[in-house]
Amino acid sequence: MDLRRLGEAGALVDFLAADIEFHHLILEASGNDMFCALREVITEVLSGRTHQGLMPRTPRPHALDTHEQVAHAIRDGDAATAEAGMASLLAEVSSAIT
């Protein structure tokens, strides 16, 4: 997964772009117009976290693992695991920005 490679390399700008794309793909794959409407909000939260220095130089290994877990769960049709992974990611971001 590109996110892991970019994150471990400390390539924050490229990691941010890949992370935004990852989350946009999830929103689009949901088929839910309400979720899709959150596209710009997600972009602003992720961008703001990086630009305000709230993002660590290299993403936490747990966050990278969770992104992969979510991607695999979606691919495998495992909604419960995908939901749990996204809840974990959202909790981490919420903690970082509050």
pLDDT tens for each residue of 12-54? 999 999 999 999 999 998 999 999 999 999 999 999 989 998 8
Question: Between vectors from CA 75 to CA 43 and to CA 61, what angle results, nearest 5°?
Answer: 60
Q: Is 50 left (phi over 0), alpha (psi -120 to 50) or beta?
A: alpha
With CA atoms as reference, report the closest residue to 88 among 62, 49, 59: 62
Instruction: Give the pLDDT of residue 1.
Output: 58
Q: How confident is the model at residue 80 (pLDDT cuts 50, 70, 90)?
A: very high
pTM (2 d.p.): 0.87
Count of domains for the chain: 1
Q: Which domain holds residue 89?
A: 2-97
For residue 93, the surrounding DSSP H or E stretch is helix 79-97
When the pLDDT of each residue in the chain is averaged and rounded to a whole number, the result is 92
